[in-house]
């Protein structure tokens, strides 16, 4: 696991999706993914073709290369800043954060009092001491992380049936409408599915609705 880290960006905002929607958090977006290069020329042949996130390079706000877990944890702590000492929450995302996140970073963040959430495509196993695991399956990629706190399925995806995930050991199951030109119809389809299958709840990208990062 990485002893140095490539981070695309870090920022303080509200969680926009899933069970923690509306909760203040520092977002640490790691560069790189194992399902798509991030280059448009590779999108059509990627395992994940619909990603709407820029995770290439380390050139965005508060991004960069961090030589060890303590320097990255300190940078996250500084971004939390005025959030105070209580309910410190960090979301490790990407790209695919588990290409870089391991026990050392988790321990360093816990030492600073953070509750740690990871948002992953599930193809790699998460460190055991992560506090909140969100798995978002992509295409035909095989899941290595088959248990966690929430499974958040972007919907619809071709040949991917939500029912196929219901035997997995997650506490919460969310459908999130696929963004893009068909968002309205995708949202209607997700709403209809949730109403027919009440185990699934609707997740909206509320940060986009209110215009925050």
All domains of the chain in start order, with CATH: 5-151 (3.20.20.70)
CA-closest candidate to residue 190, choices 152, 139, 155, 161: 155
pLDDT of residue 86: 85
Is 155 one of the catalytic residues?
no
Residues 6+ apart with CB under 8 A from 37: 46, 56
Which residue carries 């391991």 as its tokens? Answer: 102
Is 53 one of the catalytic residues?
yes
Spatial separation of the C-alpha atoms in residues 60 and 10, rounded to whole Å: 8
Is 52 one of the catalytic residues?
yes
Candidate list 20, 33, 77, 150, residue with the active-site label = 33
Kindly report the number of other CB atoms within 10 A of residue 19's CB atom: 17
pLDDT in tens, 16-46: 999 999 999 999 999 999 999 999 999 999 9
Is 48 one of the catalytic residues?
yes
Candidate list 30, 48, 134, 150, residue with the active-site label = 48
Candidate list 3, 42, 52, 161, residue with the active-site label = 52
pLDDT in tens, 160-207: 999 999 999 999 999 999 999 999 999 999 999 999 999 999 999 999
Q: Which two tokens stand for residue 201?
A: 């709840």
Is 194 one of the catalytic residues?
no
pTM, full prediction:
0.95
């Amino acid at each position: 696991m990485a002893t140095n880290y490539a981070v695309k960006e870090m920022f303080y905002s509200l969680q926009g999706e899933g069970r923690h929607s509306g909760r203040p958090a520092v977002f640490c977006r790691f560069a790189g993914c194992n399902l798509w290069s991030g280059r448009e020329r590779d999108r059509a042949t990627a395992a994940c073709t619909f990603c709407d996130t820029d995770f290439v390079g380390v050139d965005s706000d508060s991004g960069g290369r961090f030589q060890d877990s303590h320097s990255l944890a300190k940078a996250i702590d500084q971004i939390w800043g005025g959030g105070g000492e209580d309910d410190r929450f960090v979301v490790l995302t990407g790209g695919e954060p588990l290409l870089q996140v391991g026990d050392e970073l988790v321990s360093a963040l816990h030492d600073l009092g953070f509750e740690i959430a990871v948002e992953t495509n599930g193809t790699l196993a998460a460190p055991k001491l992560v506090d909140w695991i969100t798995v978002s399956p992509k295409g035909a990629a095989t899941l290595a992380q088959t248990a966690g706190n929430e499974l958040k399925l972007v919907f619809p995806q071709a040949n991917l049936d939500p029912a196929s995930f219901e035997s997995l050991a997650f506490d919460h199951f969310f459908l999130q409408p696929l963004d893009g030109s068909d968002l309205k119809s995708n949202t209607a389809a997700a709403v209809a599915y949730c109403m027919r299958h009440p185990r699934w709840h609707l997740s909206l990208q509320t940060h986009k609705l209110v215009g925050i990062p």
